[in-house]
Amino acid sequence: MTIKDTPEEWEIRATDTPFVGNKTSVRTDDVVMPDGTVVRRDYQVHPGSVAVLALDEAGRVLVLRQYRHPVRHKLWEIPAGLLDVPGENPLHAAQRELYEEAHVKAEDWRVLTDVYTTPGGCDEAVRIFLARGLSDADGERFEVEDEEADMELARVPVEELVRGVLAGELHNTCLVVGVLSLVAARQGDGLDALRPAQAPWPARPFES
């Protein structure tokens, strides 16, 4: 048996979109089960996201602290953001987010991992990049607003982030998955063996 996720789509008898928001919507599908019964499934429709684990020469990860209203917490996270345009190149989006949230650019980009954040209730797909060769971005800082205006930035050793994840002190999906994937990649074939930055992404196809 091969342990690998595979695409599959069960029959949908009816569909409705009871809510349409600024960036996401809610869809209701009547889905035919293998035994022929039809069940209703509600889920959030999401454009997809990118995240950046930016690793400096001292072995520290660039993280930011931001208020997240749905969970009523300030969470430590890695830079991340939405794919603003359907079919947008995820690398370009990641480079934009690293610049806007941290005013940083990177020379070396790799795909660290791809995840579905909450596949039981949302179709969001996230590509997490590893960025190395960090330096200050050119030009003026991006003008942030709303929750981002209150962000804090820090550079934290990988080992400290791993400790926080395993202690239940850090909860952001992209940070947790990114940091643990980084450690696994280092212990495996090494960071240079990671997929190239323009590797195909079936969950959110794009033009290079």
Residues belonging to the active site: 148
Nearest Cα neighbor of 183 from 125, 117, 120, 113 is 113
Q: How far apart are CA 122 and CA 26, in angstroms?
A: 9
